[in-house]
Amino acid sequence: MRALHSALIAVAVTMASATQVLAHSLEEVDQDLRAKETYFQAVDSEAPGFTLQDAADRTVSLSDLRGKVVVLNFVYTNCPDVCPLHAERVAELQMMINQTPMKAMVEFVTITTDPKRDMGEVLRGYGQAHGLDPVNWVFLTAAPGQPEDSTRKIAEAYGLKFTESEEGMQMHGIVTHVIDQDGRLRARFHGLKFEPVNLVVFVNALTNRTQKPHGHKEPGLWENLKGLLQ
């Protein structure tokens, strides 16, 4: 049933993103999600920058990703509970998006808040274990010489606090951030209970770069397809 659900979403999003006629503007989607998605928070501010390194020790900065929509989350690999679930939710979102033309327009970024432990093979293994596709997903950690708490400070700049205990565990919330092509933070999806299709529709509106609403006297194709998924 989950496979069928994801397939229907992929078909719907593919059709919605194939033409501007079917695309909803960002303003329309924003208004719709404010009304219907409990865990959606609209934002419009400059996204905090970062310069970190990936599993192959390559430097990656947020500025390098200008021109793409970025879906950003924070985890640490030693987390025993919510982080694996968050990674799997991001993998689900990636699968849905990557079955559409948006694949080339969206980059998924995960930042570890435990850079002392999470590097190299640990980063690579985590993505493989949770079904994340490296074609447009990257797991980032602190570069040599950066303070151990540097990535936790980045998370805090995004409004998400990771508090380390004496046992090495970290108390934290769960947020999936969406950053537009110009480096502006445009949305937060809180927790794990949001509807994945709602985030995908929001990303679709950003990739279409449509900003003004257009009238629909009758429900459009997207609404009809979305109704099948509810």
CATH number for the domain harbouring residue 188: 3.40.30.10
Task: Check residue 135 and give its pLDDT.
Answer: 97
Residues 6+ apart with CB under 8 A from 3: none
User: 64 φ, ψ to 5°?
Assistant: -65, -20
Task: Check residue 159 and give its pLDDT.
Answer: 96
Q: How far apart are CA 99 and CA 13, in angstroms?
A: 9
Contact 205, 25 (CB under 8 A): yes
Q: What is the dihedral of CA 83, 85, 89, 91, to 10 degrees?
A: 80
**Domain residues for 153?**
2-228
Reported as a pLDDT band with limits 50, 70 and 90, residue 217 is very low
Report the domain count for the chain: 1
Packing angle, helices 221-228 and 196-208, rounded to 10: 160
What is this structure's pTM? Answer: 0.84
How is residue 175 written in tokens? 């947020």
Reported as a pLDDT band with limits 50, 70 and 90, residue 218 is very low
Mean pLDDT of the 47-70 span: 97
Q: 93-141, pLDDT tens digit by residue?
A: 999 999 999 999 999 999 999 999 999 999 999 999 999 999 999 999 9
What is the Cα 38 distance to its own chain's centre?
A: 17
DSSP letter (8 states) at residue 77: T
